[in-house]
Amino acid sequence: MKSSGKRLLPLLLLPLAACAGIATEVPRISPGALGYRLLAGSVTLPQGSNPKTNCGPETLCAALSFLGVPASISEVERAVYVPAIQGSVAPPIVEFARRKGVKAKISEGGGNWKLRGQIDAGFPVMIEVTHKGLYHYFLVVGYNDAERLFVCAYYGDRQHLLTYEKLEELWRPTRFRSIAFSITTADQWVEDGYDCLDSGRYELAEEMFLKALALQPDHAKALAGMGRIRIQQEKYREAEGFLEAALKGLPDDSEVLNNLADTILNLKGDAARAERLSKESIAGTLRRLAELEEELRAAPPGTAARVQKDIDQTRVSLFYYYGTLGQAFEANGRLKESIEARLESLKYPHAGEDDPDGPARRTLEIALALGRAGERERAREFFKKARDLTKDPDLRARIDESEKLLGKN
C-alpha cells in the first residue's frame, strides 16, 4: 500500500461501554425506511474472541461478508489483530481485503460527503475515530440527511446511530481517516489490464485479464487482451483460441481482426482467411481514421489535442495492419500485392518510441519480397534503405546477410 506520507496513528479499540456513550443503539432500520439511504441487505458485526478490542476484525469481516467474500471472524482476527497493542491498524486490514480480491483504500481528509458517496455507490466504509485517547472503528452502512445521522453496523439485529456533529468531533482527530471497500468489476479489471499491457507489464496485465474472465468468462476485451499477450509470448496456438473467442463478441474490432490474421499466419494456417480478416481490419481502421479527421475539423480547441492523439495512434495501427496484409498476400503466393501492401504501410508515420526499428524491418520485408520476385536491383535499393533506417546492430547484420544471400542466388 502506498503511504500518504503521514504517520498512521496506532489503533486501539474504544471499549464498548464508552462506545455506547457516543452512539445510539437502535433496532435495525429497514433499507426502505423513510429518509434513510442504506446499503441493501443485512450488515451485521460478528462476535470475535476479543470482546473489548475487536472492532477492527469485526468491522472488516462484516464488510467482506456484505461484499460476498467468504472470511470467518477467526481468519480475519489471525490476519489483522495485534495482541501486543490489543487492536488493529489499517495497513494489514487493507492488505487482507486485497488478498481476498476486494478493492480497499485508506484515505484521509474529506468528511461526511465522502461517506455519503461511498454508500450511494453501494459499498460499506470503515472509519477510524478517537475518544478520550482510545481508538475505534465504525462500519458505516447508511445515512439520513434530513435527521443528520449516520447508520453503523452493530451486533445481531441492532445498529448504531451517530449524528453528523458527533461523528465530526470523533473523526477529526484521525484526519478523517477511512478505509473504503468495493468489488472490482470485470470491466474495471480489463481497463487496468490494458493500462498494464500498454506499458509493457505483461505479467500483471495477464493477471488482471484472468481475474476479469473469472468473473465473466466471455468478456470479449479480456479475451482479446489475453490474445495480445500470447502473441507477445509467441504462444500462437493459445493466442488463436483467445482471439477466436474474442471475435464472437467483437466481430468488427480492427485490432482483434488483425491479431487473429497475424496469429493464423504464424501458425501457417488458412492464409485465405487471414487475408480476409486483414482486409476487414484495414477497412474498419480507415473508416475510423476518416471519422476522426472529420471530428478534428469541427473540434473545439479544448478537445483537438485529444482527437489528434487518437488520429496519430490510428495511423500507427495502419502501419502494422498493412504489414499483416502484406504477409497474408505473400502466404497466398501474391508477391506483387504483398510488396504494394508493405509499401502502403510506410505511408503511415510510425511513432517510434516502443518500436524504433519498425520501419527498418518493414523495409527489409519489402527488399526480401522483391528479391523473391526476381527484382534484384530494386531489392538492393530497399536493403540500403533498411540499413540506413536501423540503429540496431543485430538488425543491420541480418540486413547484410540477407543481401549477401540475394547475391548468391
Cα separation, 228 vs 370, whole angstroms: 30
State the pLDDT at residue 13: 40
State the pLDDT at residue 351: 56
Cell of 374: 526476381
Cell of 384: 540500403
292: how many CB neighbours lie within 10 A of its CB? 20
- Could you give phi then psi for residue 142, rounded to 5 degrees? 180, 175
Q: 374: burial class by Cβ within 10 Å (0-12, 13-18, 19+)?
A: exposed
Cell of 155: 451486533
353: how many CB neighbours lie within 10 A of its CB? 6
R_g of the chain, CA atoms, integer Å:
30
Helix, strand or coil for residue 45? strand
Terminal C-alpha separation, the chain: 62
Taking the alpha carbons of 393, 394, 399, 401 in that order, is the dihedral positive or negative?
A: positive
Q: Which H or E run contains 59?
A: helix 55-66
Beta bridge partners of 404: none
Helix, strand or coil for residue 86? coil
pTM of the model: 0.63
Q: What is the pLDDT along the chain (409 residues), one digit of tens a residue?
A: 233 333 344 443 433 333 445 789 999 998 889 999 999 888 999 998 887 888 999 999 999 999 888 889 999 999 999 999 889 999 999 999 988 878 899 999 888 888 999 999 889 999 999 988 888 999 999 999 999 999 999 999 999 999 999 999 999 999 999 999 987 778 888 988 999 998 889 999 999 999 899 888 999 999 999 999 999 999 999 999 999 999 999 999 999 999 999 999 999 999 999 999 999 999 999 999 999 999 999 888 778 888 898 999 999 999 999 999 999 999 999 999 999 999 999 999 765 567 889 999 999 999 999 999 999 999 999 999 999 999 899 999 999 999 888 876 6
Name the E strands within 16-123.
24-27, 37-38, 102-107
State the pLDDT at residue 18: 38
Cα separation, 303 vs 281, whole angstroms: 27
Report how far apart, in Å, the C-alpha atoms of 34 and of each of 22, 30, 42, 143 are: 24, 9, 17, 11
Widest distance between CA atoms in the chain:
95
Cα separation, 386 vs 382, whole angstroms: 6
One-letter amino acid of 202: Y
Concatenate the DSSP letters of all residues of 265-294 into one string. Answer: HHTT--HHHHHHHHHHHHHHHHHHHHHHHH
| Residues 77/48, Cβ–Cβ less than 8 Å | yes
Q: 173: burial class by Cβ within 10 Å (0-12, 13-18, 19+)?
A: middle
State the pLDDT at residue 409: 63
One-letter amino acid of 400: D
